[in-house]
Structure 1
Amino acid sequence: MKCVTGAEALDMHEEFDLLLLDLRLPDIDGLEVCRAVRATSDIPLIAFASADRGLDRVLCLQAGADDCLAKPYGPRELIARIEAVLRRARPARAATRRTPAVLARGSLCIDPATREVRLNGRLIKLTRKEFDLLHRLAAEPHTVHSRARLMADLWGYREGYAPDARASRTIDTHVSAIRTKLGAPDWIVTVRGVGFRFGRT
């Protein structure tokens, strides 16, 4: 499956066994996408950079890519590199994979392994980003998470990014949807001028 933007790649990469990433993206710097993916996932990742951008290839390897090809490249080379990366990744992933702990917050149960949320035993259907946002807040219930931190960690924006009106609306929309699906606004508390925190412990 092909993703056109970095945001789509960040939202969907956990569904796949391998990520092929072009560093030239229309919305987010490819290096930032690489760092964001590697911060939360051990998915095998091969990046692509222009042949005249040798520094980019070095930086993407430092950002966590398993390999980086110079463009243009041949299909046989790509297949060989994919096979090599997958061979290296399978035993490492099998050895390090652990079952994430289930979070229980009162009547709310969040299972990161199955990505299921249940309230009083009833399954609550959340989108991928809604789940990620709720899990982040519930995992640190006494921490106020800034908008900039959430945009960096969950949406892949660069470190120190100051959310503009569009980005703020994105977070607000997800928070509002979660509150609606959980049936009460106090599951997530808005801390004015700062960000959000989990509302029930």
Structure 2
Amino acid sequence: MKRKLTPKQRKFANEFIKTNNAYQSAIKAGYSKNYASVGTKKLLENVRIQNYIQQKTGNVEKRESDEADEVLKNIYRISAGKEIERHYVQIDNLAKEAAGDDDSLDARMGYMVDNTTLTPASTKEQVAAAELWFKLNGKLKNDSKEVEEQKIRKLEAEADVAEQKARDARSSGQDVGKQFDKMFERLKEDSDK
């Protein structure tokens, strides 16, 4: 026969899940301070309590996973152009005007209608969902090779400008050449990365 947790043990386990403090959990569960100071190890080693805590945490993980799966399914459905359920409120402006300043629930029910349709998402939503789907699957990088090359060209151009400024400063007799050389070296290092 499988023994169940006592109400005190169940309360202890639930409090321990919330606080991760065995002593305080034992006191809140109704154990004496004496027992709480010496008996919490025994409570935490209790197989039934351990199983209860594992079951509770497992249920939460499963629910969270199920919710994440549902979100992923919706992203995929939108990106694939499949029909999705949309909820919206339709307002009859003439009836609303006739209701005047009456903003009661009954008045609103007279000029507002909840509607639900099944339609594909707009093209813009489909593209955004597809982009997100591919990013989540690692099939879409943030920058293409062309964008990376443009960034490198920009860094090189900035380095060339800094180098020219350093030459100009040296030729004019100013002692800022060393500063420009340092800036140039930093830009070169950045472009090599």
The structure where helix makes up a greater share of residues is: 2
Query: Does TM, normalized by the shorter one, top 0.5?
Result: no
TM-score between both structures, scaled by the size of structure 2: 0.21
| Larger of the two Rg values belongs to structure | 2
The structure where strand makes up a greater share of residues is: 1
TM-score between both structures, scaled by the size of structure 1: 0.20
